[in-house]
A and B are shown apart, each in its own frame.
Chain A
Amino acid sequence: MTELRVEHLAVRYGDLVGVADISLKVAAGQVVALLGSNGAGKTTTLNAVAGLVQPASGHVEWCGEPITGQPAYAIVRKGLTLSPEGWRLFASQTVEQNLRLGAMALADQSRKGAMFERVYGLFPRLAERRQQPAGTLSGGERQMLALGRALMCEPKLLMLDEPSLGLAPAVVGSLYEKLAELHRQGLTLLLAEQSIPLALAIADYAYVLQTGRVALEGPAQELARNEEVREIYLGVRTPQPAPGGSA
């Protein structure tokens, strides 16, 4: 069943075009990757779906309900959440306060305790650091907190904007293991990434964006094999093996 459907989405920032024409679909239980270089429109697309920016035209539908142009605080309560670019943690507040804020959009507030248990179970490091301000965490811990905070509202669809940005390779590996684990538990993922091999290894389907349009789409495995695609759209010249242990 299709959960998220985006049709002919366009976003403008004044005279600048954020995205020109994007259409995509995410089905329940899928992992979908949005690929492309800086400025291709990945962040703008996710922000428009999440309600952080208003689309100039186009249509966004969630589980059959139109949500185009609704504000972010309303959209997150419907079960799709965004972990934004650069994580945007509340640096002055503790790990626990950040998670508590993440749970504000939880539909059933009596499940708050269970969500804390789940997130601390997934990332025991966060439990150790629960009283520490988010601004004092390491890069890897911040990523854990961003992911944990997004999970606190028990979303059906989790959108992640460049989760691997600025992280050490070893940390990125364990992040993708967690994402694969969450996917096995039934979470649908829409993932914007510049790190193509990792994203294609975990994704079922991928869209390659270029200057605000979908330049190419297809099952992730096909895109991963396509040498021409790798070179032209993904800027990967030498074939790289997909990293092990992530799926």
Chain B
Amino acid sequence: MIAVQVIVGGLLLGAIYALFSSGLTLIWGMMNFINFAHGEFVMLGMYAALLVVVWLGGGPVTFGAAAAGALFALGAVIYLSLVRHVLRGPMLAQILSTFGLALLLRYAAFWWFSANYVSLPGNALSGTIAIGGIFIPVAQLVAGVAAIVLTLLLQLLLTRTLIGSALLAVAEDPGAAMLMGIRPDRIQALAWGLSAGSAGVAGALLATAYPWSPSVGETFGLIAFVVVAFGGFGSVLGSLYAGLIIGLIQAASAFWLGAIYKDVVVYALFVALLWLRPQGLMGKA
């Protein structure tokens, strides 16, 4: 029974990995731009949720939507003010720009919020429920399920709507997209908004179930890179499967090998996967 509980817990956390990683796949996999600040977007989503709860009150829907909206705006602004200009420069400028942005956001958070761990005050999602003999914190259950739903909604947006189709067109061939009357800059700003927004809402979901400090951005950023590469660059569904798998592996190795080994196992498997299947799990050869 304890094994089932470990597996369920891992999958629920993995679902949140999937949500923020599908945001990274939009930028890294589709728009071909490496964003080292993605983990910091998740971290900022967590603090955005906290600030909304403390200042304005409101339930999970309120702070989840607020974190998504705030990070959507931040992502679009970062594209328009920073990335758009860096895109004309050499590859190294791209890498350094978001690496610098990550440091800026992380240390701004240390300065503003201090390095202490915080957690959301008790809310509608506090407590634990028992399902068939296993005990799951309500917050983890709701956050995990919400993350899967939101990831699937992102996939539907990309594959079933005209705006998603325009986004994929810009990713594939910006020049040809312009010939269709599409303004690539606006679509890129939207992609950055969606990417940061999904990280923000994932952060809000994480905040309901786990305490955090400003340094979590680094951890989640690394996990997002692993998930995107594991799932095949540019595939939201690939990120979904890969996120669930990574969450599961982490939970299982933490339980059976000890908590300090969980990241070692994940990164060791990652290196092995890149060696055996460099195009990722779901990627085309």
Which residues of chain A have a CB within 8 Å of any CB of chain B? 50-52, 71-73, 76-77, 81-82, 84, 88-93, 97, 100-102, 104-105, 149, 153
Contacts and interface: CB of A to CB of B under 8 A. Distances in A.
B169 A90 contact: yes
Nearest 8 interchain pairs by C-beta: A105-B181, A72-B178, A88-B176, A101-B180, A104-B181, A73-B178, A76-B181, A97-B165
A73 B182 CA distance: 6
Contacts, number: 66
A193 B244 CA distance: 53
10 contacts: A52-B179, A72-B175, A73-B181, A76-B179, A76-B181, A88-B175, A92-B172, A100-B165, A101-B162, A104-B180
Contact of A73 (B162, B168, B173, B183): B183
Contacts of B183: 71, 73
A101 B178 contact: no
Contacts of A84: 175-176, 179
A90 B181 contact: no
Contacts of A72: 175, 178-179
Interface of B: 162, 165-166, 168-169, 172-173, 175-184
Contacts of A102: 180
A72 B183 CA distance: 9
A101 B168 CA distance: 11
Given A52-B175, A100-B162, A104-B162, A92 B168 contact: yes
A52 B179 CA distance: 8
B280 to A, nearest CB: 16
Contact of B179 (A81, A91, A92): A81
Contact of A90 (B162, B176, B178, B184): B176
Given A93-B165, A100-B165, A101-B165, A50 B172 contact: no
A73 B168 CA distance: 16
B158 to A, nearest CB: 10
A185 to B, nearest CB: 22
Contacts of B169: 90, 93, 101
A13 to B, nearest CB: 14
Interface centre among A50, A84, A101 (most CB of B within 10 A): A101
A100 to B, nearest CB: 6
B166 A52 contact: no
A104 B179 contact: no
A90 B173 contact: yes
Contacts of A90: 165, 168-169, 172-173, 176
A51 B174 CA distance: 13
A105 B180 contact: yes
Given A93-B169, A100-B162, 4 more contacts: A73-B180, A76-B180, A88-B175, A104-B166
Contacts of B180: 73, 76, 101-102, 104-105, 149, 153
B165 A82 contact: no
Nearest to B181: A105
Contacts of B176: 84, 88-90
A148 to B, nearest CB: 13
Contacts of A81: 179
A177 to B, nearest CB: 25
